[in-house]
Structure 1
């Protein structure tokens, strides 16, 4: 059960914001939306930020989903894992990779048979960022080997930060998958 009650359709508002969220979601409000809409400014800003992170960054879809699923696993954000499994698979990840991430992302970051060197560097970076915030030079250097452009590096840092924010809201609020 959520720690904060979900808003029902009648209580969710303002109407223009709810309509925009429904359009983005294919007509439905998710449980996350039903919590965020308790604060319309938060719901509006959330949509803008996460929309840019997921829809405007130049990172490949698999890179994005691998980082998101790693954050979700590390933080216990089952809601995030539930919603991103299909996206991870659609982006080219395998079921074995997803299962390893969901079971233990930190251990999966070292799984040379499941993940290539670039993926392991991204996962190690995500583990360090999520658990410690400060990234040591060796971990950042490994990331730079595979994502040498500053824009890529900034987008990876921001992606991980944004989904750590999402995970913390999901877990602290007790939001459950639909």
Structure 2
């Protein structure tokens, strides 16, 4: 049971109900609806990261799984293991990123995982790590990576504090994995 109750449909305004109806039935989205003014911005930022950013989907998912590991977010891990597989991340890479076995990752993925870990635990990545990411990805995708790590780190804190539970069945049906690429 969540530590902060999920809002019921009756407690939601029409705008929140419309947003929830357009998205998969995720507990985290329902929890976002408990802060009505934040619902649209939080969901739109998540969608921008997953659907509109130029950052390579594989590297994005390695970063998200690394943030989930560093924050202990079983919810983010469960959700994003599925998304990772849907966008073509190998099972071995999903497992390595989620478990912190960085030596099992290729050089680029290892760098991204290290960057995500640093930004999650130290608030900022180190100079050398940031320079290496900038060289690998360029300015735009490096900035997208920072936004991705910061967003999922913030969401992990919402999940932990509110007690958002992993859904009994992950709602992946009806979601187009090609949209995540």
Question: 2:125 & 2:97 partners in 1: Cα distance?
Answer: 21
Q: Structure 2 residue aligned with 1:57, among 50, 53, 57?
A: 53
Unaligned runs of 5+ in 1: none
After superposition, what is the alpha-carbon deviation per residue over 1:119-144, rounded to whole angstroms, capped at 9, x for unaligned? 11111111110111132221112212
Q: Structure 2 residue aligned with 1:35, among 19, 25, 31?
A: 31
Question: 1:133 & 1:39 partners in 2: Cα distance?
Answer: 25
Work out whether 1:84 is the aligned partner of 2:80: yes
**Alpha-carbon distance, 1:70 to partner:** 0.8
What's the TM-score, normalizing by structure 1? Answer: 0.86
Work out whether 1:126 is the aligned partner of 2:116: yes
Match in the other structure for 1:174: 163
**Alpha-carbon distance, 1:62 to partner:** 1.0
Question: 1:15 & 1:158 partners in 2: Cα distance?
Answer: 29
Kindly tell me the number of residue pairs found equivalent between the two proteins: 167
Match in the other structure for 2:6: 6
Match in the other structure for 1:44: 40
Match in the other structure for 1:93: 89
**Alpha-carbon distance, 1:8 to partner:** 2.9
Question: 1:17 & 1:31 partners in 2: Cα distance?
Answer: 14
Provide the secondary structure at the position in 2 that maps to 1:146.
Answer: helix
Task: Judge conservation of contact 2:4–2:162 (CA < 8 Å) in 1.
Answer: yes
Provide the secondary structure at the position in 2 that maps to 1:123.
Answer: helix
Unaligned runs of 5+ in 2: 168-181
Provide the secondary structure at the position in 2 that maps to 1:176.
Answer: coil
Provide the secondary structure at the position in 2 that maps to 1:79.
Answer: helix
Match in the other structure for 1:156: 145
Question: 2:110 & 2:156 partners in 1: Cα distance?
Answer: 21
**Alpha-carbon distance, 1:7 to partner:** 2.2
Structure 1 stretches of 4+ with a deviation exceeding 6 A read none
